[in-house]
Amino acid sequence: MTAVAPAGIRFHHGSLVVPAGAVHTTPLGYARDSVPVGAPLPVAAAAELVRRLSRCGEIQVAFEGKLGDTLLALSGIRAVLDWLRLRSVRVTVQAVGPYAELIARTELITQPQATTPNGWRAVIGDRPGIEAHGAEAAVSLVLDPAAPPCWSSDGRAHPDLPARHYLALERRLGIRLPDTTPFAPTLATRPNHLVEELRSTGWLGNLNLAAITATSWPERKDYTAQRYIALAEHIAEAQQTQARLLLIGGNPTDGLRITAEAPRRHVQVLRLDGMPADHLTDLFPHYHLIVGNDTGLTHLAAMARGRNGSSPPVVGLYARHSHSKWRTGLPHHHAVATDLSDRMHQGDLCPVRDAIATDTDIHMDAFPPAALAQVCLELLNGVRP
């Protein structure tokens, strides 16, 4: 569902199907729904890539760059592993680098030991990861977020980055792969002592909200703690209850820091800074609603799954960049976007990559807390489909 929200912003439901004719797309070149899994595609495979991957006994997953780009690219790893399984090529899969422990929480690192290692190794990751680990690899695959276009097939567009990466590799490998939308893998949770401490002190009861304050681009993407607190106040007042708001910051290299603020009328606030991403994976499923800017921790929140397989609604705020490309594609990962973000979505554009100077200076103040609260309340109350 796409709906106009108050104050000129627009809500986009995570399960929305985007018709191919509504946005700028690149046709896949085949009707994907009509091709059986494992069947050759009517598009020529990249012969040298196929030859080298077929002879590999080891896949190394190497990401060294941004967290968000890494998470949205993991579907590319899934595509390669799906292709190897279809061809009965047995490999070992190892994640290296700063995100190794996080990637190990997906179902991707489950491949059996190669029975006869042939010494060939493939490295798949981002450019910094390939530079760090790909020197002696037989083949290296760079999963660049700027590379795959918005594909279309069977009358629908596939704008989110996980779909773009997966379908781009399907075309290059020349076989209809088994996965379907949503293409993003999810992250499993584990027992966590900090989660239990928060539960024991009452921070995971009643109406508990989480907000992402971390961002790699503060001057453009920082919604600010003050606006998040105002948002929580509006929600709690409407629900006639006391809310507990967790403000999650970044900078894990500075160490973990937990700070409680003086209680407001309707909201108690706890700041959590410097918590590693893999620990946040264990925490996010315990919240009723998560709001964040277009940043890696917001994507992480959407991909984190509780032990029962459920996830809370996650709302991303998009002022300048495409709300559809920079999402996981998971049905509970929604967006609230400006008109500029909608135009970037429609034209498959990026204000940075395509050097688009805006005619207005759009910042995160485009989302008034009162207007955003109406969207969040409808999600909390199950009103929005």
* Domains of the chain listed by start with CATH number: 2-14+188-380 (3.40.50.2000), 31-185 (no CATH)
Identify whether the C-beta of residue 372 lies closer than 8 Å to the C-beta of residue 291.
yes
pLDDT at 291 over 90: yes
Beta-carbon contacts of residue 309 (< 8 Å; ≥ 6 apart): none
Q: How far apart are the first and last CA of the chain?
A: 7
Look at strands 10-12 and 58-62 and give their pairing: unpaired
Q: Tokens 């759009």, residue?
A: 362
Q: pLDDT tens digits, residue range 321-345?
A: 999 999 999 999 999 999 999 999 9
Of 17-31, 100-114, 235-249, the range with the lowest mean pLDDT is 100-114
Q: Give 222 or 50, the one with higher predicted confidence.
A: 50
Closest CA to 189 of 111, 99, 280: 280
Instruction: Indicate the pLDDT class of residue 264, thresholds 50, 70 and 90.
Output: confident
Over pLDDT 70: what percentage of the chain? 92
Q: Give residue 217's pLDDT.
A: 66
Mean confidence (pLDDT) of the chain: 91
Q: pLDDT tens digits, residue range 212-259?
A: 998 766 667 789 999 999 999 999 999 999 999 999 997 766 788 999
pLDDT at 85 over 90: yes
Structure tokens at 342: 């909608």
- Helix axes 161-173 and 47-54, enclosed angle (nearest 10): 90
The pTM assigned to this predicted structure is 0.94
Beta-carbon contacts of residue 30 (< 8 Å; ≥ 6 apart): 41, 42, 43, 153
Identify whether the C-beta of residue 243 lies closer than 8 Å to the C-beta of residue 206.
yes
Q: Give 361 or 183, the one with higher predicted confidence.
A: 183
Taking the CA atoms of residue 282, residue 283, residue 287 and residue 289 in that order, the dihedral angle to the nearest 10 degrees is -90
Q: Give residue 359's pLDDT.
A: 62
**Per-residue DSSP letter, 19:** B
Look at strands 156-158 and 151-153 and give their pairing: antiparallel
The dihedral built from the CA positions of residue 191, 197, 200 and 205, taken in this order, carries a sign that is negative
Instruction: Indicate the pLDDT class of residue 4, thresholds 50, 70 and 90.
Output: very low
Of 34-38, 236-240, 349-353, the range with the lowest mean pLDDT is 349-353
Q: pLDDT tens digits, residue range 116-158?
A: 556 689 999 999 999 999 888 999 999 999 999 999 999 999 9
